[in-house]
């Protein structure tokens, strides 16, 4: 029952897709600060490599960049082949890479639909499928491997913005989490999802000109999310404390979904 045992993730190996910025970077930082070796991916190699170097130095822990485009099967194959060459097994997979698209209903494009659905849903499924052999290597009844899918409260609420494919994709992520959890729990791999509300990120930021004051005012907690909020939840799900939690979608939104009387997303 000691807290250091309950919540320890030390010595584990994790993958965080889209781990170089936003929520992915926050989760990566939380893992690194607590003794986890982390592989991060993103499309833009220079920024990814620079971020991995910065985080490795900051936390004195290995953060390894793997530049790739996870929106295609070729990119996923390349990514998983690289990981397989470097590691015999993986403990945690955080499927965080994602895209958003906003466009008026009347002109909403097929490009905006396919780009978002392919990366947010299709890629998430196939990355987990391809990484599964590495997840099973480390998994046991007492110490299962973990998969965390990053959803969104926009997959639970009706969003304020015209992001039709994004909200549909995140609702799909939440249900896919339950379906994958039912399949993989038999092999000691626990799958859960986190549905974040407003966090400072390159996804939300441009929509509000990186001014979060209005969002903070309307949030039940009167603030946006912090790295500690999302990293703490990820660490819980990956630690002994979270080993009996399966197939859940946990909101991290300051109370928007459950307590707000009208749509605040």
In the residue annotation, 59 being an active-site residue is answered as no
Q: Residue 210: what pLDDT?
A: 76
* Partners of 92 in the β-ladder: 14, 146
Query: Which run of H or E residues covers position 76?
Result: helix 73-86
84 by Cβ neighbours in 10 Å (0-12 / 13-18 / 19+) ranks as middle
Burial environment of residue 126 by CB neighbours within 10 A (0 to 12, 13 to 18, 19 or more) = middle
Cβ-count burial 21-34 (b if 16+ within 10 Å, e if not): bbbbbbbbbbbbbb
d(CA 243, CA 258) in angstroms, rounded, equals 25
Which tokens hold the place of 128?
Answer: 């987990």
Which listed residue (39, 166, 199, 212) is catalytic? 166
50-106: per-residue pLDDT in tens? 999 999 999 999 999 999 999 999 999 999 999 999 999 999 999 999 999 999 999
3-state secondary structure 216-232: HHHCCCCCCCCHHHHHH
Domain ranges of the chain: 3-259
Describe the crossing of helices 227-238 and 22-33 by its angle, rounded to 10 degrees: 60
Does the structure show a pLDDT above 80 at 260? Answer: no
The residues facing 195 across adjacent strands are 251
- Report whether pLDDT(265) > 60: no
Model confidence pTM above 0.75: yes
| pLDDT classification of 207: cutoffs 50, 70, 90 | low
Closest of 73, 54, 121 to residue 19, by C-alpha: 54
**Phi first, then psi: what are they for 106, rounded to 5°?**
-65, -30
Query: What is the Cα–Cα distance from 113 to 64, expressed in whole angstroms?
Result: 32
Chain mean pLDDT for the chain: 94
261 band by pLDDT with thresholds 50, 70 and 90: low
Fold classification of 3-259 (topology level): Rossmann fold (3.40.50)
């Amino acid at each position: 029952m000691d807290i250091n045992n309950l919540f320890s993730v030390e010595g584990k190996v994790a993958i965080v897709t889209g781990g170089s910025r936003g929520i992915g970077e926050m989760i990566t930082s939380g893992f690194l600060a607590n003794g986890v070796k982390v592989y991060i991916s993103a499309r833009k190699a220079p920024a990814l490599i620079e971020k991995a170097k910065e985080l490795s130095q900051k936390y004195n822990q290995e953060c390894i960049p793997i530049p790739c485009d996870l929106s295609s099967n070729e990119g996923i194959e390349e990514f998983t082949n690289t990981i397989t060459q470097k590691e015999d097994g993986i403990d945690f997979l955080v499927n965080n890479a994602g895209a958003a698209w906003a466009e008026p209903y009347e002109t909403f494009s097929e490009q905006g639909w396919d780009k978002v659905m392919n990366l947010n849903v299709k890629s998430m499924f196939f990355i987990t499928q391809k990484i599964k052999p590495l997840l099973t290597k480390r998994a046991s009844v007492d110490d299962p491997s973990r998969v965390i899918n990053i959803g969104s409260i926009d997959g639970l609420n009706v969003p304020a913005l015209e992001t039709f494919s994004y909200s549909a994709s995140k609702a799909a992520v939440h249900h896919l989490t339950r379906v994958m959890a039912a399949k993989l729990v038999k092999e000691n791999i626990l799958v859960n999802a986190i549905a974040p509300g407003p966090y400072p990120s390159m996804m939300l930021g441009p929509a509000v000109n990186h001014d979060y004051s209005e969002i903070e005012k309307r949030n039940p907690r009167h603030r946006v999310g912090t790295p500690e909020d999302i990293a703490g939840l990820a660490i819980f799900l990956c630690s002994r404390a979270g080993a009996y939690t399966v197939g859940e979608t946990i909101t991290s939104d300051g109370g928007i979904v459950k307590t707000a009387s009208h749509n605040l997303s």
